[in-house]
Amino acid sequence: MTLDPGPAWLRWLPADSRAGLRRRFLIVWAVAAVIALLQRYVNPAQHPLDQALVYSYAISTAIWFLADPLRIVLRRWLRTEGPYYWSFNARSLLHQLLSALLGYTLGAALGDLYAGHSTWQQLWLSPQRFWGFLLWSMGVSAGFLFFFYHREKAHALEQLATETRLKLLESQLEPHMLFNTLANLRVLIKLDPDRATAMLDRLNDYLRATLSASRSDGSSAPHTLALEFQRLRDYLELMAVRMGPRLRYTLDLPDHLATHPVPPLLLQPLVENAIRHGLEPSVEGGEIEVSARSNAGALLLTVKDTGVGCEGPPASGFGTAQVRERLATAFGAQGQMQWTSAPGEGTRISLRLPLHHATP
């Protein structure tokens, strides 16, 4: 899974926690505005709008900071683990209670500095109102805790389902590539045994280098464009043993995109199709160019060949169908695939992905 780097003010926390923290912070601030407006509406004389906003935002932010980011800092003591760091054990409940009390105290003190009077005077002037507001704040905090716990747990389960789906699609692509390569090898054995042996040696090296990596869980490091392009280079060298000078290729990956994460085996099915349907039917063969570019907040990946091309939309084969499905699973509507081709002019397939997306 690709982790969202998050804003700079959250970089001191674990990478897998930042996106959730940012979502919860925005929700807390939105609710804080609603609370301030309700206070202003119920008692406009007691709660001028500016003071109501300051108190609401100060108290909500203080409670959120102590109950959420600090909860992740204390994750070992609280005995919670990623990716959502929530647990209903005794230590976590104690921490949430203390966070609500201390956050209310700190937020009220900031509001008092702005308003020029003390909240604690209400403890003597109107104790019922003071304790009522305090208990109400505690109830809101408990409601947030319950809501965020279930929301983040559901989000984590959805993320796990997405990763599982991508792994399933990836596991289907690997034997597909292998079967295609073995079919090519079978033909070459009859035509040129020496080249068939060289191709078999290259296939052995390729499988040893790639299959174990493609089956890793991705928890230690994401699959980057640099790794994807290295796999493409190994595969194209494997195909070059069979096709000889009829296959030429160019891989263009800018340095600033080398560490960008992508789903494994995203481009290889497109390269396989370019060889099978573009270059192999051509007597002269042709060239394959694979490139990566960033443009307007998007990552553009292009596979272009100078093969025979075709007229009209392509048949939805296994490789292209898998790529479309993996784009939809990993990126939703943000993952797009565009195909253009013409007879005698080759084929161009472009993938448009979000930059630095959280990708499985």
263-304 residue pLDDT tens = 887 898 889 888 888 898 888 889 999 999 998 889 999 999
Position with higher pLDDT, 181 vs 23? 23
CATH of the domain at 234: 3.30.565.10
Q: Are 101 and 242 contained in the same domain?
A: no
In a domain, 179, yes or no: no
* 0.85 exceeded by pTM: no
Q: Are 205 and 331 contained in the same domain?
A: yes
- What's the sign of the alpha-carbon dihedral 138, 141, 145, 146? positive
In a domain, 181, yes or no: no
CA distance 232 to 157: 32
Q: Are 126 and 21 contained in the same domain?
A: yes
In a domain, 266, yes or no: yes
CA distance 48 to 32: 15
Given a contact cutoff of 8 angstroms between Cβ atoms, the answer to whether 137 and 100 are in contact is yes
Average predicted confidence (pLDDT) for the chain: 78
Q: What pLDDT is stored for residue 238 in this prediction?
A: 81
Final residue before a domain boundary, out of 158, 178, 209 = 158
What domain range includes position 41?
Answer: 8-158
Phi, psi (5° rounding) for residue 49?
-60, -45
In a domain, 57, yes or no: yes
Given a contact cutoff of 8 angstroms between Cβ atoms, the answer to whether 96 and 108 are in contact is no
Q: Are 84 and 212 contained in the same domain?
A: no
Among left, alpha and beta (phi > 0; psi -120 to 50; other), residue 79 is left
CA distance 105 to 286: 72
Q: What is the mean pLDDT of residues 240-244?
A: 81
217 DSSP assignment: -
Position with higher pLDDT, 115 vs 302? 302
Query: 63-85 pLDDT, tens per residue?
Result: 889 888 888 888 888 888 776 67
Q: Are 117 and 217 contained in the same domain?
A: no
Given a contact cutoff of 8 angstroms between Cβ atoms, the answer to whether 104 and 55 are in contact is no
Examine the pLDDT at 227 and tell me if it is beyond 90: no
Q: What pLDDT is stored for residue 360 in this prediction?
A: 37
Q: Are 151 and 254 contained in the same domain?
A: no
Q: Are 98 and 148 contained in the same domain?
A: yes
Token representation of residue 89? 């054990």
Q: Are 62 and 201 contained in the same domain?
A: no
Final residue before a domain boundary, out of 142, 158, 174 = 158
Phi, psi (5° rounding) for residue 102?
-70, -40
Number of domains in the chain: 2
In a domain, 217, yes or no: yes
Given a contact cutoff of 8 angstroms between Cβ atoms, the answer to whether 355 and 260 are in contact is yes
In a domain, 328, yes or no: yes
CA distance 86 to 295: 38
